Amino acid sequence: MKFATRRVGKTSLELPTLGFGTAPLGGLFDAVDGAEAAQTLAEALDHGMSYVDTAPFYGFGRSERRVGDQLRGRKHQISTKVGRLLLPGPAPDPAAVGWPDALPFHPVYDYGYDGIMRSFEDSLQRLGLDQIDVLYVHDIGEMTHGTDNVRHFKALEGGGYRALEELRMSGRLKAIGLGVNETQACLDALNIGDWDVFLLAGRYTLLEQTPLDDLFPKCVERGVSFVVGGPYNSGILVGGDTWNYGAAPESVMKRVERVSAICQDHNIPMPAAALQFPLGHTAVTSVIPGLRNRCELSDTINWCRHPIPREFWQALKIEGLMHSDAPIPPALPFLATSS
């Protein structure tokens, strides 16, 4: 399958419109068999999903190790993240933070110059690769850190950003950005540096489009692109009951029911609509659902090929279920051709 590609910001890097998020392969919430993880990622690459995103935090190194073993020797684009160093010795209760099958390391936050440089080098070692295309600052923001975010953001502004810029200027990276779940962190980051791309998870979806009001216009002005993670809002848009990695509140459940009814009226799988929606915006370079196994991969491939008529999107707007200014995706937005 040949996916369309879009350029990342002002860089020369182009990514396929459908990528692969690997938090599940790191064992998010449940362990994943190593053979199944390897086969899932290998099949994704065979399908043309050559952009793979990982992070040291995912399984405390497990995701990066699994990803590197599959990417080595194959054409790919890869992003990983900085902001946490992995130190030897298991965390007290890794399952409590979502990683029941974590490797025997524990993460320590470090957004400073030395921490980011060390994290970059450590990731190369775990991946077994000599090149990383995109480096994201992971989970900076009040959603993760609360009041401690002031201290962490000062570390990023005072030295961490300089490390990223040096890596980019030296050619060791093609793009730099943030990998976060909140728009405010991106807005704050615009004040301290020249970024290429923000990986924004769960905030520009079929359920949520608030970035259209402030973040997207500012980023379009600055030439900053977006990779959209969490297109299913952590499960609620594929038939689950979780939203933002927790139990979905009643208000969200009711909104999903209304969206689902319109999907049924138009004979459209709701996950297909959720997957395709973000690509209506030209600032969105790639959509990267997190995939756990070959069954989820197969479903994703089918959903990205499901035709969705313009009338469906208009129906969502008429019912007040879609931002009035949200751009409508083109037909079959993931594919390079309609064939």
The model's pLDDT over 94-133, given as tens digits with 9 standing for 90+, comes to 999 999 999 999 999 999 999 999 999 999 999 999 999 9
Report the distance separating Cα 6 and Cα 288, nearest Å: 14
For residue 268, what pLDDT is reported? Answer: 98
More confident call, 337 vs 327: 327
Q: Tens of pLDDT along 123-132?
A: 999 999 999 9
pLDDT digits (tens, 9 = 90+) for 293-306: 999 999 999 999 99
HEC per residue, the chain? CCECEEECCCCCCEEECECEECCHHHCCCCCCCHHHHHHHHHHHHHHCCCEEECCCCHHHHHHHHHHHHHHCCCCCEEEEEECEEEEECCCCCHHHHCCCCCCCEEEEECCCHHHHHHHHHHHHHHHCCCCCCEEEEECCCHHHHHHHHHHHHHHHHHHHHHHHHHHHHCCCCCEEEEEECCHHHHHHHCCCCCCCEEEEECCCCCCCCHHHCCHHHHHHHHCCEEEEECCCHHHHHHCCCEECCEECCHHHHHHHHHHHHHHHHCCCCHHHHHHHHHHHCCCEEEEECECCCHHHHHHHHHHHCCCCCHHHHHHHHHCCCCCCCCCCCCCCCCECCCC
Residue 312 to residue 266: CA distance in whole angstroms: 7
Band the pLDDT of 85: cuts 50, 70, 90: very high
Residue entry with tokens 């810029």 = 165
> Treating both helix axes as pointing N-terminal to C-terminal, what angle do 310-318 and 250-265 enclose, rounded to 10 degrees?
140
Structure tokens at 14: 């182009």
Torsion of CA 333, 335, 337, 339, to 10 degrees: -110
Q: pTM surpassing 0.75?
A: yes
Q: What is the pLDDT of residues 143-154, one digit of tens each?
A: 999 999 999 999
pLDDT of residue 339: 42
Q: Is the pLDDT of residue 239 over 90?
A: no
User: pLDDT digits over 250-271, tens only?
Assistant: 999 999 999 999 999 999 999 9
Give the model's pLDDT for residue 81: 98
Residues recognised as catalytic: 53, 58, 81
